[in-house]
Structure 1
């Protein structure tokens, strides 16, 4: 019992240290770019406001894709109820601990149709496939190896070998997770990361920053999302994702531009997920049609 308590304390301290280091890095970036940040002016405010609103709508649609992937893993049992629970759970990832959205989803979904084991396995499969999807999308970074020398210099092997290993690993996992809807779920996650890349690209355009290749900016977001997902830190990956995004985007982007973009994405996600929480009942209604696929296994 004492050993588990110490583990909990050590993990908590580690999370706090990671968060504080991330905050220090962001503070350092702000201090170095304070002049540029103060001089920043949005030239086309109506364009920016319109883009921000459209980005919120896109974000909501992307969350609907994540919900669909979750229903695939649950084999479309009680789709409307499970969709509503998933929508409501997302706002809880910002609570301290970064696990309450999983706990809420598990506790609220469990009933006679779902056992603890089934929900636990679905959550495990979700995590594995999300990590694979983010890893594969982030490989687009290596199209511009000269921009990420700080990363490529640390790789123990050529990046193409790493990519090949990841593809083989994904195929191996797909065979292990046969009859779970692996491919359908993975495609849904690809859609999510592609859509988030589009939001990032649109915000860069709306602010009048130097244009960046879509694949590059999508890969930067995917890699930063993955870092925030797997590295213990603040709720919702706060701090970790911002640091990794800034590191990956520079020097191709100015540091202050990368900082503003990732801060806007954080703000956008909080606003959109608040709307999703409030509209969970309405957003979950279309999923009732999937009840005809109950117990169906997707590819």
Structure 2
């Protein structure tokens, strides 16, 4: 097989995975929709969900930017537009059962662009490792939910210390590019947690955001997201994330509000991923 034919075959394979991803996303949205009471949706709520989905979809460009930095670190000359296109076209594959097809799709599609398969595999490993490290630090934000005497100020102080230690350690090893990557992952997780907390407050009719509770809620969401990420076979953490959130937040919110917020936030993030997908396929 010639190099040109190999690239075409890889491109077609990536397209098949992308099409399967869209099918599974449609199936997921239908399932989530059926779980909600008939009187849940109002015009105001739908507009807010679309707005939050837009915010979440835009935040995906942060992930694509971080991946580009990792690729450049592996001596792959990749531009922002190409990185965003590849990342966005394959990101929906995380909803396909198996929880690996977003990485497989990215590997195939990026190779069809002529990038090194070995370098792409290394960036996948680094991405998972750094996402886990970044997400795990958010447990410090969540501590006030588990131990009320441990207030948010102590959490933020510990968080700052850990962040400084990580930054210092990477600088000493000459890994300044990884600091940029972690900063982007932190920003993405912060936005993701903020989207969930916004949906939760909307559902519970409590518009008075309490900073002492908001940051721990974001921390709880990120930890639940992390658990879903590392659970083998769970597409986009389905089931795992919901279970942990209900377990952690039950003492603070009515269980029905938590369930509705979890389902609505799922719909919001899925729609946001679709927005990002549509945006990515327009990039040439």
Range of TM-score over shorter length:
0.7 to 0.9
Give distance in 2, aligned partners of 1:81 and 1:229: 25
CA positional deviation for 1:234: 2.1
**Structure 2 counterpart of 1:205:** 201
TM-score normalised by structure 1 residue count? 0.69
**Structure 1 counterpart of 2:31:** none
**What is the SS of the residue equivalent to 1:185?**
helix
Q: Quick one: structure 1 residues 274 and 77, their matched pair in 2 at CA, closer, same or farther if it must change by over 3 Å?
A: same
CA contact (8 A) 1:87 1:280 kept: yes
Aligned pair partner of 2:47 in 42, 46, 50:
50
Give distance in 2, aligned partners of 1:255 and 1:172: 42
Give distance in 1, aligned partners of 2:173 and 2:231: 25
Give distance in 2, aligned partners of 1:112 and 1:269: 28
**Structure 1 counterpart of 2:118:** 117
The count of corresponding residues between Structure 1 and Structure 2 is 238
| Deviations 1:214-238, CA, capped at 9 Å, x for gaps | 2022111100010001122421111
User: Any residues of structure 2 matched to 1:206-285 within 5 Å, and which?
Assistant: 206-210=202-206, 213-282=213-282, 284=283
**What is the SS of the residue equivalent to 2:252?**
coil
RMSD: 3.2
Aligned pair partner of 2:66 in 69, 73, 80:
69
CA positional deviation for 1:125: 1.3
User: Any residues of structure 2 matched to 1:68-217 within 5 Å, and which?
Assistant: 68-75=65-72, 77-110=78-111, 114-146=115-147, 170-171=166-167, 174=170, 178-179=174-175, 181-210=177-206, 213-217=213-217
CA contact (8 A) 1:141 1:216 kept: yes
Give distance in 2, aligned partners of 1:41 and 1:147: 35
| Deviations 1:132-157, CA, capped at 9 Å, x for gaps | 111112311113433699xxxxxxxx
CA contact (8 A) 1:48 1:207 kept: no
The answer for unaligned runs of 5 or more in structure 1 is 1-33, 150-158, 286-299
The answer for unaligned runs of 5 or more in structure 2 is 1-34
Give distance in 1, aligned partners of 2:256 and 2:218: 18
| Deviations 1:187-223, CA, capped at 9 Å, x for gaps | 1111111111221222123224445632022111100
**Structure 1 counterpart of 2:3:** none
CA contact (8 A) 1:85 1:105 kept: yes
Q: Quick one: structure 1 residues 173 and 123, their matched pair in 2 at CA, closer, same or farther if it must change by over 3 Å?
A: farther
CA contact (8 A) 2:138 2:222 kept: yes
CA positional deviation for 1:52: 0.6
Give distance in 2, aligned partners of 1:202 and 1:50: 13
**Structure 1 counterpart of 2:29:** none
Point out which structure has higher relative CO (alpha carbons under 8 A, 6+ apart). Answer: 1
Give distance in 1, aligned partners of 2:228 and 2:199: 21
**Structure 1 counterpart of 2:56:** 59
Give distance in 1, aligned partners of 2:239 and 2:90: 21
CA positional deviation for 1:169: 7.4
Q: Quick one: structure 1 residues 196 and 112, their matched pair in 2 at CA, closer, same or farther if it must change by over 3 Å?
A: closer
Give distance in 2, aligned partners of 1:77 and 1:52: 34
Give distance in 1, aligned partners of 2:214 and 2:50: 20
CA positional deviation for 1:245: 1.3
